[in-house]
Amino acid sequence: MALLARDDTGLRFRTDQGVLVLTLWGDRILRVTMLREGAERTPDVALVGAPARVAWTLDEQADRYLIATPAMRASVDRRTGAVALLGGDGKPLIAEANLERRKLGGAPDAEGAVRMLFTLPEGRAVYGLGQHQTGLLDYRGSIVRLQQANTDVGVPVLVSPAGFGLFWNNASVTEVAVDTPQAGGRALFRSSAGEGVDYFLFAGPDVDQVIGAYRQLTGAASLLPRWAWGLWQSKERYASQAELLGVAAEYRRLGIPLDAVVQDWQYWPAGRWGSHEMDPSRYPDPKGMLDALHRHNLHSIVSVWPRLDVGLENTRALEAIGGLYPRTYPNVYPAGQGRWYDAFSAKARALYWRQISERLGRAGFDGYWLDGSEAELGGQWGEMAEVNTALGAGALVYNAYPLLHTTAVRDGMAAEYPAKRPLLLTRSAWAGQQRNGAFTWSGDVSGRWDVFARQIPAGVNFSMTGNPFWSADIGGFFGGSPRDPAYQELFTRWLQFAVFNPMFRIHGTGEGKEVYSFPEAVRGPLLDAVALRYRLLPFVYAQSWQVATHGASFLYPAGMVFPNDAKAQDLRDQYLFGRGLLVSPVIEPGATARAVYLPAGTEWIDFWTGARHAGGATLQVAAPIGQIPVQVAAGTILPLGSPVQYADQSPDRPIELRVYRGADGRFTLYDDAGDGQGWQRGERATIDLVLNDKAGTLTIGARAGRYPGMAKTRRFRVVTVAPGTGVGLAEAPGREVVYDGKQQVVAL
């Protein structure tokens, strides 16, 4: 191996297999590519920007080249060219296996696949790789197939509690074998197509540093409108304007908080799928419908597909610019045939958006539900590999379709409707999609207990791909009746879990699952769950700011926040919401208690009782039908808002600051206008809260920033949590503080 060149961004080497290039994209980001001479890479659809200017050094040692930035060290073996990311102790965190580099390098194998072996730290978990329905959290000992399908989302990003992340920059169908006999106890990436090896390494050690580096590379997560964090009511499907408005009116009449009613598919006239028209016989005044919702502080999104009926004017217009795939595909459901647009074409994306905007956008919809975004085509998963796209063979760009599809609508909405933050719901995702303001939901899953249990690791692993926006249909898409006692229990437990999800959306086929559709005798726990979600809004909105600006997530595996606790690495039915709330959903019918493992390294306080327990222990925790077990880490400052009917009612209402003593802590309250792009112009305000446990004080810092409509004063009630005080949904006694924007120190 020979060093060919060095410049400000990295190094180039000549090896027996081709040219090895190391590029520094940031002080925690290293790109590694191995291409044969003359080979060209597939377009980098996931990446944004260019390599940042990084201060780095090169130490040419006898057996290796050592590269160092202020936050990362990596090495290249002089003999084999194997690259390794090093930890603080100088040992490899992840390293190319020398034999694989020497034998294969960037060349395809005998079947045309691109592959690479990596050694991983022994006994450390591997998370990420998208959203899968296997029930696995730690992927050691398993093979994961990354291929988009309904309920299965492939994203070639992984992280580890060892303190690193990896993005395998290949959008073709990929298999990842982690610590299996086939991988020789290592991690094997094998992609079905590609011209060479191309991947990125991210250095931590903290998970937010790793994911923050990934988003620096692929795009910051969007800041979503405040209403997005409230309750969404959906159904397959509200069949008329009157029905949809009736649902909204009934929620408001009963005083059940609600922020959105969703219009699912088949609102179009017969034979007009893809026209983006609303059938005038059932929806006589779409704009009037949206105006009525908005007057009641409600919002709506509408389902659109990348699929169009044959012969429509929209279909012909897309075909005229080469924006459709040639084949006509049979529908998965209902019977029929249709064409699919090429989201890899910039011209097709722009036209597709214009067609949506001319009818649905001008009616006033607040966002779009991009269904079938894998793309579904004829429902035979694998068909995308057979088409030629505007960016090359479908086999090469296979998994990236949902990224480009969401980009079409996100970019169009941002440009044409700047008063609304882009907000999408989509069934599939790929690397970088966090920048498009798109919630990915887990697809058309069934309303069963075993399926419910699998949603927990599915969502947590999806979050560890750097995309924080995830949800599952509350209660499951298929099956379930509000009149069935067995389903009532499942729905209650699923709703409680969803309180601690990014998106809070009820959906399903068959009978409507509106909260008021359940018998009054069993409705109490449902109302309590909705009330808890709305009281959590100040916490959720503040966390969304950390997500958008600081590499944070909503869902974390306990093993990533407590990396030194071996028992915490594979908690499949527990997770952290933010970094301080340990959530343990009830996933068995009839259960009134469950075992809860408390990660070592902190003390934990029961949200419902205030009881304190040391970490590193397993407890049997009470879980009556109205309660989901939640433990709060010592040092947490948890803001709980006042009861409200909709999210935008909350900003100037009193906030209870629950203080969980036992360690120092910090939290930043965040607020802005709730929608629009003013926050990007600096129209926002933050208040730093600091707990000094030894001194027994909570400092409410001086407010930084302002925004139009901001209340000059706020009311806080500071509550020190103890057994029986400051627990559950009860309003707790505490010290009242009138805050005028100046720093105040409150004795606890």
Enumerate the active-site residues: 371, 374, 444
Q: Is 20 helix (H, G, I), strand (E, B) or coil?
A: strand
Backbone region of residue 10 per phi and psi (left: phi > 0; alpha: psi in -120 to 50; beta: other values): left
- With b for 16 or more beta-carbon neighbours within 10 A and e for fewer, the 407-430 pattern comes to bbbbbbbbeebeebbbbbbbbbbb
d(C-alpha 325, C-alpha 340), whole Å = 6
Task: Please report which helix (H) or strand (E) contains residue 684, including its range.
Answer: strand 684-692
d(C-alpha 666, C-alpha 647), whole Å = 24
d(C-alpha 336, C-alpha 333), whole Å = 8
Q: What is the DSSP annotation of 380-432?
A: -TTGGGGSEETTEEHHHHGGGHHHHHHHHHHHHHHHH-TTS---EEES---TT
SS (H, E, C) 104-138: CCCCCCCCCCEEEEEECCCCCCCEEEEECCCCCCC
d(C-alpha 85, C-alpha 78), whole Å = 15
> How many residues are given for the chain?
748
Pair type for strands 187-191 and 174-178: antiparallel
CB of 287 closer than 8 Å to CB of 262: no
SS (H, E, C) 524-536: HHHHHHHHHHHHC
d(C-alpha 719, C-alpha 733), whole Å = 7
742: buried, middle or exposed (CB in 10 Å: 19+, 13-18, 0-12)?
exposed
d(C-alpha 144, C-alpha 458), whole Å = 13
* Residue partners of 126: CB distance under 8 A and separation at least 6: 120, 138, 139, 140, 158, 159, 160, 178, 179, 187
CA angle 393, 399, 400 (to 5 degrees): 85
Neighbours of 383 (CB within 10 A): 19
SS (H, E, C) 721-740: CECCECCCCCCCCCEEEEEC
CB of 477 closer than 8 Å to CB of 487: no
d(C-alpha 698, C-alpha 42), whole Å = 53
Q: Is 371 helix (H, G, I), strand (E, B) or coil?
A: coil
Question: Of the candidates 191, 57, 93, 126, which has an alpha carbon nearest to the alpha carbon of residue 569?
Answer: 126
Rounded to 10 degrees, the C-alpha dihedral 333/334/337/338 comes to: -70
- With b for 16 or more beta-carbon neighbours within 10 A and e for fewer, the 543-581 pattern comes to bbbbbbeebbbbbbbbbbbbbebebbbbbbbbbbbbbbb
d(C-alpha 446, C-alpha 385), whole Å = 28
Tell me phi and psi for residue 474, to 5 degrees.
Answer: -65, 125
* Residue partners of 680: CB distance under 8 A and separation at least 6: none
Neighbours of 122 (CB within 10 A): 9
Q: Is the peptide bond before 427 cis (omega within 30 degrees of 0)?
A: no
Q: What is the DSSP annotation of 153-216?
A: EEEEEEEETTTEEEEE---S-EEEEESSGGGTTSEEEEESS-SEEEEEEEE-SSHHHHHHHHHH
Neighbours of 450 (CB within 10 A): 9
Integer CA distances (angstroms), 499 to 372, 477, 530, 583, in order:
26, 18, 7, 10
Q: Is 98 helix (H, G, I), strand (E, B) or coil?
A: helix
